[in-house]
Amino acid sequence: MRIQINKQAAVPIIGVVILVFFFFLGTFVSERNSNLKPVVFSPPPLPTQLNPQGDTLIVEDKRFHVAFEPVFNKYIISILEAPFEEIRQEAEIRFVEQFNLTQEKACQLDVSVTTPRFANPQQSGKDYPLSFCGSVTK
């Protein structure tokens, strides 16, 4: 007599068996090595190169990012949350402080402030200069 196993039912059972195995393995290992500290993953330090072209993430905040595009010798400040103007001000301050610049020196750099539609539909689709440098460029 041949036993047939329902494959759809077997997958969750196998998953539970594996989960229980790792639970007991973890308990056994932690009891034997109670003096060891847990390994904590930490993200790579900034700046982080994003692609082979050398685009680099310089500042990563949940509300904005600052990146550098070496091919264009340009800085991009992306505002990722609303309200646009409030977060733009914070991002610009962080940009100036990050590089220890005066506002005058910062205005000599090629910097675009942008925002995606999901964050700020009214301001999206435009490249803004630093607020202390001038008006909308595109």
Per residue in 3-52, pLDDT (tens digit) is: 555 555 444 555 444 544 455 545 544 455 555 555 444 444 567 777 77
Element (H, E) at 26: helix 7-32
Count Cβ atoms below 10 Å from residue 25 Cβ, excluding itself. Answer: 10
With a cut of 50, say whether residue 76 has pLDDT above it: yes
With a cut of 80, say whether residue 127 has pLDDT above it: yes
Q: For 30-39, 56-65, 101-110, which range has the lowest pLDDT when averaged over its residues?
A: 30-39
Instruction: Give SS3 for 125.
Output: coil
Check residue 51 and give its pLDDT: 74
Q: Give percent above pLDDT 70 in the chain.
A: 63
> For residues 16 and 57, what is the distance between their CA atoms, to the nearest angstrom?
40
Q: pTM surpassing 0.95?
A: no
